[in-house]
């Protein structure tokens, strides 16, 4: 039994270096691709969130209890991107 195990170890030994090389580079490439995908998705989400006009609307209150006096359920969400009731602040000293 010990001779069979020794034979298997010596038979596999020349293949270990190339296998470990390929596995190490595969793991490295997958990690870089994962980071790239996460960064790309974060940029896409940030671009979409910057389209939300709520902070520039005259009905936005900056109060965490009642964010918007007209449509509080969609304030600061993606649904507010094309809000029908959006009116820009005309005088920022009044709001």
Which of 44-48's residues contact partners 24+ apart within 8 Å by CB, and which partners? Answer: 48/78, 48/81
More confident residue, 26 or 53: 26
Query: Quick one: pLDDT band at residue 94, thresholds 50, 70, 90?
Result: low
pLDDT tens, residue by residue, 53-69:
988 888 888 888 888 88
For 26, 42, 90, the CA distances from 34, given in Å and listed in that order, are 12, 12, 45
Over 70: is that where the pLDDT of 75 sits?
A: yes
- Give the gyration radius of the chain's Cα atoms: 29
Query: Over pLDDT 70: what percentage of the chain?
Result: 97
Q: What is the pLDDT of residue 7?
A: 86
Neighbours of 76 (CB within 10 A): 14
Residue 29 CA to residue 51 CA, distance in Å, equals 34
- Mean pLDDT across the chain, nearest whole number? 89
């Amino acid at each position: 039994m010990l001779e069979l195990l020794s034979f298997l170890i010596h038979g596999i030994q020349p293949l270990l270096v190339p296998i470990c090389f390929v596995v190490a580079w595969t793991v490295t490439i997958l990690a870089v691709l994962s980071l790239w995908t996460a960064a790309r998705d974060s940029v896409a989400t940030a671009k979409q969130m910057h389209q939300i006009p709520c902070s520039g609307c005259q009905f936005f209150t900056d109060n965490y209890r009642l964010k918007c006096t007209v449509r509080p359920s969609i304030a600061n969400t993606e649904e507010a991107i094309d809000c029908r009731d959006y009116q820009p602040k005309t005088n920022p000293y009044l709001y």
